[in-house]
Amino acid sequence: MKTKIINTPDMQKAADRRPSSTVFSTMSVKSFDELSKLIKGKKYYIRTYGCQANIRDEETMRGMLENVGYIPSNEPEEADLIIINTCAVRENAEDKVYGEIGNLKYLTKKNKELVLGFCGCMVEQPEILKRLMTTFPEVNLYFGTHELGNLYSLIYAVLTNKERIVSIESKPGEVVENLPACRLNRFKAFVNIIYGCNKFCTYCIVPYTRGKERSRKFEDVLDECKSLVKAGYKEITLLGQNVNAYGKDLDEQKDFADLLEAVAKTGIERLRFTTSHPWDFSSKMIDIIAKYPNIMKFIHLPVQSGNDKILKLMGRRYSRQQYLDLVKEMRNKIPGLSLSTDIIVGFPNETEDEFQDTVTLVDEVKYEAAFTFIYSPRKGTPAAKIEDNVPYATKSKRFIELVKHLEKHIEEKSNKMVGNVYKVLVDGTSKTDEGMLSGYTEENKLVHFKGDESLIGTIVDVKITESHTYSLIGEIVNG
């Protein structure tokens, strides 16, 4: 198979943050008509790894593919187009993808017309792309995170030229509006407000894979939220790698607090946002969260480490004390606030004492939820160049110790919820027990309870009867 390389990634270009104004554009409909004739009745399958940014990208791709005539399928075996939407944040995220493609390779032999596409954060890295292209010659389409708007012409080119297409341009990225979306949930919607990341935490690959921070225009975000309210959505989650940076790149003089307030005023029943970087979380934002009852009192506030030296080496831009002061202000102003976090154990050369600072911070903040990770070197990031003298076994031991502390606090909070009544947005039937419904409280606790399926998509009052570390059991009290 011939390979046509339109663009390949370049880490240096991907890191370029020279000031330039954000480019706003609309979807390219080039090839729409030609493609729609070619793929009548054909099926597609998408598998997504990684964070909400990738899930939201899947929704856009689904919207585009279904508009042009593709039919969704849950079976890769019957699909004529398979897209693997990858994540590169840690090595184990990549390993999952290598495993998956091994399983899919044989399908290209069965179906000579199969378009097998790779997108997402893995393909944005030159080394990984090279490895994928040599190990899996069967894959005939690679496209980058800035390329979604060109999906039609890329698929058309693979189908008609019978060649492998690689289109991954490392660029600041643009904001493409008016892309269709086929949302994966009928009641809860993700709304992008800012793409990319400018923080360059020294361990993290995301700024290289997702480009420069660029905000959507205030009115564009608001219009999308209003139409979601009109369509009956109950919950909106505003998305960005760092939502607090919203608006800094716009001429509009609007910040994240202004946006939160405007979206709260649309009357959406539940408003959430993720992720917040502690560095630019302002008092004005805290005041807005406190003021509007429909803004959920739940903040995901990654700390990463409780030690000043490690925080500095990570490039996090705040000290332990600044983080704790922020938490104090939040808890003072927002009664009933739930906090969750992300923590990395085993940053290069982290000592036992430095690690213990994270443990004491966890004991002080008493998070309601947490994601903990063992540091995974990402090629091309500054931290990956540091020689590390800590054995993996030590990191694993510390990881287990930290999780024990986190779980103790989470359990204590969950136990306190027993006997009280909470509002739960019913998601669906419980994954483990068909007779049970499940959903999340305002503070983002998962609850299982008996109830009729007709309640799915509504908000019900549930009295908590039993608590487990990561979920609660309850019973409906309002019929």
Q: Interface residues with ligand SF4 (CB under 6 A)?
A: 197, 199-201, 204, 206-207, 241-242, 277
88 binds, among ligand SF4, ligand F3S, ligand SAH, none (CB under 5 to 8 A by kind): ligand F3S
User: How far is the C-alpha of 145 from the C-alpha of 123, rounded, in Å?
Assistant: 9
54 binds, among ligand F3S, ligand SAH, ligand SF4, none (CB under 5 to 8 A by kind): ligand F3S
User: How far is the C-alpha of 430 from the C-alpha of 339, rounded, in Å?
Assistant: 25
Residue 35 or 201 having the CB closest to ligand SF4: 201
Applying CB under 6 A, does 344 fall inside the site for ligand F3S? Answer: no
Please list every residue from 187 through 246 that binds ligand F3S, using CB under 6 A.
205-206, 209-210
Supply angle C-alpha 62, 242, 167, rounded to 5.
45
Please list every residue from 108 through 167 that binds ligand F3S, using CB under 6 A.
120-121
Q: Which of 13, 47, 90, 131 binds ligand SAH (CB under 6 A)?
A: 90
Residue 190 or 375 having the CB closest to ligand SAH: 375
* Cα separation values, 427 from 56, 232, 246, 267, 273, Å: 18, 14, 29, 20, 18
378 binds, among ligand SAH, ligand F3S, ligand SF4, none (CB under 5 to 8 A by kind): ligand SAH
Please give the structure tokens belonging to residue 448. 């299982």
Nearest 10 degrees: CA dihedral of 407, 408, 414, 416? Answer: -170
Angle between helices 151-161 and 52-67 (to 10 degrees): 60
Q: What Rg, from alpha-carbon coordinates, does the chain have?
A: 23
How many chain residues touch ligand SAH (CB under 6 A)? 17
Residue 145 or 167 having the CB closest to ligand SAH: 145
Q: Which of 304, 338, 340, 441 binds ligand SAH (CB under 6 A)?
A: 304
User: How far is the C-alpha of 295 from the C-alpha of 305, rounded, in Å?
Assistant: 27
Closest CA to 295 of 238, 228, 229: 238
Please list every residue from 191 through 250 that binds ligand SAH, using CB under 6 A.
203-204, 206, 241-242
The residue to which tokens 């090279």 are assigned: 130
Q: Which residues contact 312 (CB under 8 A, 6 or more apart)?
A: none
CB of 284 to ligand SF4, least distance (A): 20
CB of 314 to ligand SF4, least distance (A): 8
CB of 424 to ligand F3S, least distance (A): 28
Closest CA to 210 of 5, 9, 59, 6: 9
121 binds, among ligand SAH, ligand F3S, ligand SF4, none (CB under 5 to 8 A by kind): ligand F3S
Q: Which of 88, 123, 339, 390 binds ligand F3S (CB under 6 A)?
A: 88
User: How far is the C-alpha of 318 from the C-alpha of 308, rounded, in Å?
Assistant: 8
- Amino acid identity of 38? L
Residue 145 or 467 having the CB closest to ligand SAH: 145
| Helix (H), strand (E) at residue 360 | helix 352-365
CB of 242 to ligand SF4, least distance (A): 5
Supply angle C-alpha 427, 430, 432, rounded to 5.
155
Binding mask 262-281 for ligand SAH (x = CB under 6 A): -------------x-x----
Q: How far apart are the first and last CA of the chain?
A: 62
207 binds, among ligand SF4, ligand F3S, ligand SAH, none (CB under 5 to 8 A by kind): ligand SF4
Indicate the pairing of strand 270-274 with strand 235-239: parallel
Residue 108 or 242 having the CB closest to ligand F3S: 242
Q: Which residues contact 294 (CB under 8 A, 6 or more apart)?
A: 264, 267, 268, 269, 270, 271
Positions in the binding site for ligand F3S (CB under 6 A): 50-51, 53-54, 87-89, 120-121, 205-206, 209-210
Positions in the binding site for ligand SAH (CB under 6 A): 89-90, 203-204, 206, 241-242, 275, 277, 302, 304, 342, 344, 373, 375-376, 378
